C-alpha cells in the first residue's frame, strides 16, 4: 500500500497556450480532488481568447488540490492543481497514513518513473510547457522538535518567508500543512503603482489596461489569486461595485490648492446604467484586434458588382459530375489565390519598426466564421498549393470545428489574407476591418437575381457585390483595383481558371 510518507506533491501550473496568450478561463473541471490521473490525461477545459482547449496534466498520481472555480480566469503560470506522485526511491520512508486512491496510484504513475526512481513527467505536452528534464527534488520539511527555542531553526526547517515548502499530502491521521499566506503590504500612496515594499501583484497586462482605462487604482484591491495576485475577475468585480469611486487610502495626501488649503473634492462621473457584458474571451480578443487595426492601418475600400451566373452554373456542373461536393467558398478561394499570385503586394504585412513591407511567400487564407462564441477566423494553411476539392474539404473541417468550439490556436493564427463571405447574413455589401497584421480582405455579398445587361440585352442575372479593403501602405488604388477587377473577371468568366483546377 502506498502511504503518505512514500509520496510527494507536484504542482501543475497553467501552461503557455501559445501565440502570446496571457490568461485563460476555467470552463469545466474534468477531475475531482481524490481522483487518480494518468500521465497526459486531460484535467481541465479552458477557454482562451482564441479557442477552447483541454489541458493535459504531465504528472500521474492523486489529485490533492484544485485552484479556481469554473468561470474563473487564471493568468499563465498560476497553479491549476496539485498531484501527489510517488516519492524518489532514495527518500527514506516515514510512518504515515495511506493516501486515498493509492491502491491504483502505482498504475497511474508508472509511466513517470525511471529505473532509478526519478520523476520524469511526460515531456512538452503544450506550447512553452514541459517536464522533459527531471525536476529537482523537493526537500522534506520536518517540524521543529518540541521545546525548541524561538528564533532558532533546526536543519531542514524553512525560514519564515519560505511560502512554497509544504509537507507531503497526508491521509486522515496526518494533518496537511498549508502554505503561509502573507498579508498584502501597505500602500505607499506616492502614485507609483507600488506597494510599500514591492510592486502591485498583477501579472497580466490586460488586467492593468482594464484598470487603467476605467480609472481604477489597483493599489486599493486585494487580489483573490495565489499570494494576493490581482486577476481580471477582481478588477471587474471592483468596477461593478463602484470601487473606482471610493476614496483613496488615508496614506494618500489630498490635493492642495495654491494657498495650501485642500482643493475641492471632485465628483466621480456617473456610470451609465444598464446591463454590462465583460469584453473577455473571443469577444475581447476581437475587440482588441479590430481596435488595433483601426489605429495602425490606413485602410481604403473599393468595390464592384459582378455577374456570378457562370460561376454558380460551373459549380452546379462540377457537383453533378460526381465526386466530392465543391463549395462556392472554395471556388472563390481558388480565385483569390490566383489573384494574389498576380498581385503579391496584397499578400504581405507591414513591419512598422523597420519601415518595410514584407511580401509573404505563402498564402494562408483566413475566412470569417460566425459562431455562438463570436466571430472567429480559421486559417487554411498553404491555400496556394491546394486544388478546389482540397480547399472545399478544409473549409468544411474548419467550419465544423468552429461550430463545435474545437478549433486550436494553430487553426486561428498565421493568416496572410482573409476572405469574408458576409453574404450569408443576407447583405449585399460591407466595408470590413482588416484582420491585423494582414494587408487586405476580400468581402463577398449575397448572390441575388438582378437586372443586368448581358450580351447587349437586359436580362435577369445572378449578381454579387465584391469589396476589397486594403492597407494603403502596401499599395495604391491601381494595384487594389487591378486585383479586384481580376477577381470579378474570374467570377464572370470562370472557364479559363477552372481548366487549371
Cβ(251)–Cβ(189) below 8 Å: yes
Cell of 234: 477582481
Cβ(468)–Cβ(443) below 8 Å: yes
Cell of 138: 523537493
- Spatial distance between the Cα atoms of 28 and 55, rounded to a whole number of angstroms: 11
Which position has the grid cell 491549476?
A: 80
Non-local CB neighbours of 342 within 8 Å, separated by 6+ positions: 482, 483, 486
CB atoms within 10 A of CB 182: 11
Look at residue 41 and give its three-state secondary structure.
strand
Cβ(25)–Cβ(281) below 8 Å: yes
Non-local CB neighbours of 424 within 8 Å, separated by 6+ positions: 370, 446
Non-local CB neighbours of 337 within 8 Å, separated by 6+ positions: 363, 365, 383, 384
CA angle, residues 283, 284, 288, in degrees to nearest 5? 120
Backbone angles phi, psi at 214, to 5 degrees: -105, 10
- Spatial distance between the Cα atoms of 465 and 237, rounded to a whole number of angstroms: 46
Backbone angles phi, psi at 463, to 5 degrees: -110, 140
Active site residues: 472
Can you list the positions of beta strands (E) in 277-403?
Answer: 299-307, 348-351, 356-359, 365-367, 369-371, 374-376, 379-380
Residue 322, burial from CB neighbour count under 10 angstroms (0-12, 13-18, 19+): exposed
- Give the single-character DSSP code of 442: E
Q: Transcribe 80-103 into DSSP letters.
A: EEEEEEEPPTTSPP---PBPTTTT
Amino acid at each position: 500500500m502506498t502511504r503518505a510518507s512514500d509520496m510527494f506533491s507536484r504542482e501543475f501550473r497553467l501552461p503557455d497556450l501559445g501565440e502570446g496568450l496571457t490568461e485563460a478561463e476555467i470552463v469545466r473541471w474534468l477531475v475531482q480532488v481524490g481522483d487518480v490521473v494518468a500521465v497526459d490525461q486531460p484535467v481541465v477545459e479552458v477557454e482562451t481568447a482564441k479557442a477552447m482547449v483541454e489541458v493535459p496534466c504531465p504528472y500521474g498520481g492523486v489529485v490533492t488540490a484544485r485552484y479556481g472555480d469554473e468561470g474563473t480566469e487564471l493568468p499563465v503560470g498560476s497553479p491549476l492543481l496539485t498531484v501527489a506522485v510517488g516519492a524518489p526511491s532514495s527518500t527514506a520512508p516515514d510512518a504515515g497514513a495511506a493516501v486515498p486512491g493509492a491502491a491504483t496510484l502505482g498504475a497511474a504513475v508508472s509511466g513517470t518513473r525511471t529505473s532509478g526512481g526519478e520523476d520524469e513527467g511526460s515531456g512538452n505536452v503544450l506550447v512553452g510547457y514541459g517536464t522533459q528534464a527531471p525536476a529537482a527534488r523537493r526537500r522534506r520539511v520536518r517540524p521543529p522538535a518540541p521545546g525548541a527555542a524561538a528564533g532558532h531553526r533546526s536543519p531542514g526547517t524553512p525560514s519564515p518567508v519560505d511560502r512554497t515548502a509544504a509537507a507531503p499530502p497526508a491521509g486522515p491521521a496526518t494533518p496537511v500543512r498549508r502554505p503561509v499566506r502573507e498579508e498584502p503590504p501597505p500602500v505607499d500612496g506616492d502614485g507609483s503603482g507600488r506597494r510599500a515594499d514591492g510592486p502591485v501583484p498583477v501579472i497580466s497586462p490586460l488586467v492593468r489596461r482594464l484598470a487603467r482605462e476605467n480609472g481604477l487604482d489597483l493599489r486599493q484591491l486585494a487580489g483573490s489569486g495565489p499570494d494576493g495576485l490581482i486577476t481580471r475577475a477582481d478588477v471587474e468585480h471592483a468596477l461593478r461595485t463602484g470601487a473606482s469611486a471610493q476614496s483613496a487610502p488615508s496614506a494618500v495626501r489630498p490635493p492642495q490648492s495654491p494657498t495650501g488649503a485642500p482643493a475641492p473634492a471632485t465628483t466621480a462621473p456617473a456610470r451609465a446604467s444598464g446591463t454590462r457584458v465583460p469584453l473577455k474571451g473571443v469577444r475581447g480578443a476581437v475587440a482588441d484586434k479590430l481596435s488595433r487595426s483601426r489605429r495602425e492601418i490606413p485602410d481604403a475600400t473599393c468595390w464592384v458588382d459582378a455577374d456570378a451566373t457562370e460561376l454558380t452554373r460551373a459549380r452546379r456542373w462540377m457537383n453533378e459530375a460526381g465526386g466530392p461536393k465543391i463549395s462556392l467558398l472554395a471556388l472563390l478561394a481558388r480565385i483569390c489565390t490566383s489573384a494574389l499570385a498576380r498581385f503579391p503586394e496584397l499578400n504581405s504585412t507591414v513591419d512598422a519598426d523597420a519601415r518595410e513591407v514584407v511580401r509573404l511567400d505563402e498564402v494562408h487564407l483566413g475566412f470569417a466564421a460566425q459562431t455562438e462564441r463570436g466571430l472567429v477566423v480559421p486559417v487554411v494553411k498553404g491555400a496556394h498549393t491546394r486544388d478546389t476539392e482540397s480547399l472545399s474539404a478544409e473549409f468544411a473541417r474548419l467550419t465544423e470545428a468552429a461550430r463545435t468550439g474545437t478549433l486550436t490556436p494553430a487553426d486561428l493564427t498565421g493568416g496572410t489574407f482573409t476572405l469574408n463571405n458576409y453574404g450569408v447574413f443576407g447583405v449585399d455589401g460591407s466595408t470590413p476591418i482588416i484582420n491585423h497584421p494582414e494587408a487586405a480582405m476580400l468581402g463577398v455579398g449575397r448572390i441575388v437575381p438582378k437586372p443586368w445587361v448581358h450580351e447587349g440585352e437586359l436580362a435577369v442575372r445572378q449578381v454579387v457585390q465584391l469589396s476589397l479593403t486594403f492597407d494603403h501602405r502596401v499599395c495604391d488604388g491601381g494595384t487594389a483595383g487591378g486585383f479586384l477587377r481580376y477577381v470579378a473577371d474570374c467570377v464572370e468568366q470562370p472557364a479559363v481558371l477552372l481548366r487549371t483546377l
